[in-house]
Amino acid sequence: MSARLSRAWAILALPLISIGLSVIVGSLVIVFSQWLVTGELQAGLALDAYGALVSGSVGSERAIVNTLINTMPLLLGGLAVGLGFKGGLFNIGVQGQFLMGALGSVIVGVQLRESPALIAIPISLVAGMIFGAAWGFIPGFLKAVSGAHEVVTTIMLNFVAIAILAAAVSGPLNVIGSQSPQTLPVGNASLPVILGRNGTIAIIYAPIMAILYGWLLFRTTRGFEIRVAGASPDAARYAGMSPRHLIIWTMSVSGMLGGMAGATDLLGATHQMTTTYGTTVGFDAIAVALLGRTNPLGIVLSALLFGAMRTGASAMQIQAGVPADLVGVLQATILFFLIIGPVIKRIFRLKDAKTGLEDSATTFTATYGGEATIR
Amino acid sequence: MTSESPQVGAPALEMRGITKRYPGVVANDSIDLDIRPGEIHALLGENGAGKTTLMNILYGLARPDEGTILIGGEEVRLTGPSEAIRRGISMVHQHFMLVPVLTVAENIILGEETTVRGGFLDRSEAHKRIVDLGRRFGFEVDPEVKVGSLSVGWQQRVEILKALYRNAKVLVLDEPTAVLTPQETQEIFEVLRRLAAEGHSIVFISHKLYEVLEIADRITVIRRGKVVGQRVPAETNEEDLAEMMVGREVSLTVDRGESHPAGAALAIQGLVVRDDRGREVVHAVDLEVRSGEILGIAGVAGNGQDELVEAIVGLRKPTRGTVSLEGIDITGLRSRDVYEHGVGYVPADRHRFGLVLSFSIADNLVLTSYHRQPYSRGLLRNDEAIREAAEERIKAFDIRTPSADAKAATLSGGNQQKVVIAREFSRDLKLLVLDQPTRGLDVGSIEFIHKQIIAKRNAGTAILLVSAELDEILDLSDRIAVVYRGKLVGLRDGRTAEKNDVGLLMATGGRANGDSAGGETGSAA
């Protein structure tokens, strides 16, 4: 095996093995749940289900566009979580930032629904990013001034975001006379479709954000500071960097990406908001970032995988009769196997990868352990 | 083999043809070692020579690929530490494995609890044995005292007691003097001699030549995984041992030459610093370091040196007092601004502070200057300039690495420290603060770093050297300040200072011999 190949394997082994194992676990779940209900053991059912999942996500042009459009919020959310990890912060609050971003874009989008699209779209999108950034700034600021752990504060803020959203939609944003509380549609602020029936320009700007993410981290001095602070907060302090400043900055930009994910979903897909508005994108984004090992290309690929699974889930339910919720099982088991990476590495006798990447699983646990060394 | 060694007899322990390979490196290459009963046997070698691997094999932590271990003439397979302990082999680690909040007795019986019926601890029996053992070997310790309240020297004795409590016949001590003052070292040597006289065998691992010559009956030198020779102290000297260890001639004493100090570069007045827990650990220190001189700060670790240094370089805000650099007040500035004023800083813990181990050597070489020209252009990194500077410094400071892209973690300790030294020494400096610049390094790297320090002084930089190695302070310093409990208790000339005098000041603060250094405290220059 050439050096390049073995290096690539060292990087890809754990994610690929995790995906493979989760597929196996998924088929066991499919076959045994069928057996429990009907008493029949049909090994082929798993194949049928996965076949439907694949063809439903990439089997036709329409499926591919749907996969792409489902991928983009996951990609932006994955970048948000990934940036936090790079900086040694576990932003578990992308969900809340996503909701606030959607809220910000719907507030502005409804106001601008009759303005020219060229004005309405960028302003609504930026409003979502600002709302998300503000929602990321709060935990960053709290950690910088008091050491409050971001895992705790961001989880709390997720609930606050849900409540604010419900209050806003049923209150000031509610359209008088509607059956159940909901906002007006965003009209001209809707993202224009450029591909197929519903492929919006998010297909263009979200990948650009992934490129900017890589550029920020590896080409700028700020990115260097973030990576140093993430890899060794003590070394960052020694080097004369300001950890407090970096924490606030990183959390705000991470929140901005989360807000952009929410704005993308709202302006591109739902166009209006109800009190039950919400997805699991913010949480799936954590798995996306971990599977992609916080690397920009890795996050793009893992977002595509998760986007494809979401898209193919309904086809799987219709064609194979396997509930769409199986996709949740797959995503959760991938995350599970990633987190128990050290065990997997031992079982599969993987050498420790001496790659250019900081081990995201290590970052994960190190962050979660909560060693807040701020002065 | 030296057959004329005083203790002749069947070996208590024999290792024959021990070979251990790790991917890409032979850590132990058919090593033969025999330890006699009642012998103090020194194992001498640089870091990475294979001492630790060999001892891990002996303690059952690693399996040899080839070779056999014999204990009392009987071949054994050591499957783990518990097996090694059962066979009478015990290890006293460099970093003590004691629980500070437990008492001496509790620490000693940990894992070896004598229980009475129903699972209750039989303390009285354990206490009696501990007191008996201590009395027998001349270091009685109260079994009821909490380990955390003991000095480092006494903690080490507790470790030894723990080994004896488990009926160890062979004690392996890994760098036991690294954390001790000269006086404490002498005390522990006394203990070791008593143990040997009672028939215990001691394996004494060290890279300090004079200590080995003083304490050992026989010395085995290991280099690159091989035994390169065995000596008895009477037939050898430091130079000979150093040459065996390194494989070439090394100069052990630094040629420090003349110093030509100019005006004060660093001036500290009435500096008061608190530690993380808010206790005042630096009390009104006055200190002056002149351009072109090395001021050494001698002191047992934990006497406020760390906090003093952190306050100077801006990592800790002093409570009171001033720090000025060439007349400019830099008190309380952020570290970035202190560095910008021309202060270089080599931190004590290179793994935690000095380096980002998962980053490349090139990145580490600009860790404190990445934001300046030419390494950054506006907001962007200038990878080309960073790379060029890295290549240059790797050459200038003889950093042994396959490439500038290699991760810092892949380097040996000596080369890692050279990265830190190269980075800080390459900047335009007025003051250089060195905290334990050679801790844990091999003789070759120490020699190199010492030369660099002298060169920097001769170029007119003021150097503040903090080290727990008294010899390093004595070898390099033009002036020596001794700290004791956060106060400067004495100031000596570096060329005439007596080791015992400084050692005593370090240990007692000068009260024992009536040396009231108060008058000259900090009255620098």
CB contacts, 8 Å: A354 with chain B: 407, 410
Residue with tokens 């959390």: A251
Burial class (CB in 10 A: 0-12, 13-18, 19+), A364: buried
Partner A contacted by B354 (CB < 8 A): yes
- Tell me the CA distances in angstroms from B106 to B84, B126, B173, B241, B466, one per residue in order: 22, 9, 22, 41, 36
CB B491 within 8 A of CB B481: yes
pLDDT in tens, B261-313: 888 999 999 999 998 888 899 999 999 999 999 999 998 888 899 999 999 99
Interchain contact, A228 vs B356, CB within 8 Å = yes
- From B522's Cα to the closest Cα of chain A, the distance in A is 27
Per the structure block, which two tokens stand in for B220?
A: 């085995």
Concatenating the DSSP letter of every residue in A319-340 gives: HH---TTHHHHHHHHHHHHHHT
Cα(B340)–Cα(B336) distance, rounded to whole angstroms?
Answer: 6
In chain B, the largest separation of any two C-alpha atoms, in whole Å, equals 75
Which residue among A221, A235, A354 sits closest to B355, beta carbon to beta carbon?
A235
CB B348 within 8 A of CB B287: no
Partner A contacted by B371 (CB < 8 A): yes
Interchain contact, A240 vs B410, CB within 8 Å = no
Partner B contacted by A224 (CB < 8 A): yes
Instruction: Reduce the DSSP state of residue B294 to 3 states and report it.
Output: strand
CB A67 within 8 A of CB A319: no
Measure the CA angle with vertex B373, ends B368 and B378; round to 5°. 105
Find the range with the poorest average confidence among A37-46, A51-60, A176-185, B393-402: A37-46
Interchain contact, B358 vs A242, CB within 8 Å = no
Instruction: Supply the pLDDT for residue B94.
Output: 67
Partner A contacted by B358 (CB < 8 A): yes
pLDDT in tens, A335-349: 888 888 777 777 777
Strand partners, B376: B381
Prediction ipTM score: 0.83
Q: What number of other Cβ atoms are within 10 A of residue B58's Cβ?
A: 25
CB contacts, 8 Å: B334 with chain A: 240, 242
Interface test with B, best of A6, A224, A225, A249 (most B CBs within 10 A): A224
Q: Where are the alpha helices (DSSP H) in B76-151?
A: 81-86, 104-109, 123-137
pLDDT greater than 50 at residue A372: no
Which residue among A220, A232, A238 sits closest to B381, beta carbon to beta carbon?
A220
- Beta strands B487-493 and B320-325, pairing class: unpaired
pLDDT greater than 60 at residue A374: no
Instruction: Reduce the DSSP state of residue A79 to 3 states and report it.
Output: helix
State the first-to-last Cα distance of chain B, in angstroms, to the nearest integer. Answer: 54
CB B369 within 8 A of CB B417: no
Per the structure block, which two tokens stand in for A150?
A: 């971001």
Query: Percent of chain A, pLDDT > 90?
Result: 61
Interface test with B, best of A219, A225, A238 (most B CBs within 10 A): A238
Instruction: Reduce the DSSP state of residue B348 to 3 states and report it.
Output: coil
Among candidate residues A72, A78, A129, the one with its CA nearest the CA of residue A293: A78
In this prediction the pTM is 0.79
Instruction: Supply the pLDDT for residue B45.
Output: 85
Interchain contact, A238 vs B315, CB within 8 Å = yes
CB B480 within 8 A of CB B497: yes
Interchain contact, A231 vs B359, CB within 8 Å = yes
Partner A contacted by B353 (CB < 8 A): yes
CB contacts, 8 Å: B355 with chain A: 232, 235
Interchain contact, B354 vs A238, CB within 8 Å = yes
Instruction: Reduce the DSSP state of residue B139 to 3 states and report it.
Output: coil
Burial class (CB in 10 A: 0-12, 13-18, 19+), A298: buried
Cα(A185)–Cα(A171) distance, rounded to whole angstroms?
Answer: 16
Partner A contacted by B385 (CB < 8 A): no
pLDDT greater than 60 at residue A352: no
Cα(B298)–Cα(B282) distance, rounded to whole angstroms?
Answer: 14
Interchain contact, A358 vs B370, CB within 8 Å = no
Residues of chain B with pLDDT under 70: 1-9, 94-96, 112-121, 511-525
Interchain contact, B370 vs A227, CB within 8 Å = no
Interchain contact, A219 vs B376, CB within 8 Å = no
Interchain contact, A242 vs B334, CB within 8 Å = yes
Interface test with A, best of B312, B361, B367 (most A CBs within 10 A): B367
Instruction: Supply the pLDDT for residue B435.
Output: 94
Find the range with the poorest average confidence among A198-207, A298-307, B103-112: B103-112
Interval A182-197 mean pLDDT: 91
- Amino acid at position B98, single letter: L
Interchain contact, A242 vs B336, CB within 8 Å = yes
Interchain contact, B370 vs A221, CB within 8 Å = yes
Q: What number of other Cβ atoms are within 10 A of residue B79's Cβ?
A: 10
Q: Give, for A161, the enclosing helix (H) or strand (E).
A: helix A150-170
pLDDT in tens, A246-258: 999 999 999 999 9
Measure the CA angle with vertex B390, ends B387 and B391; round to 5°. 90
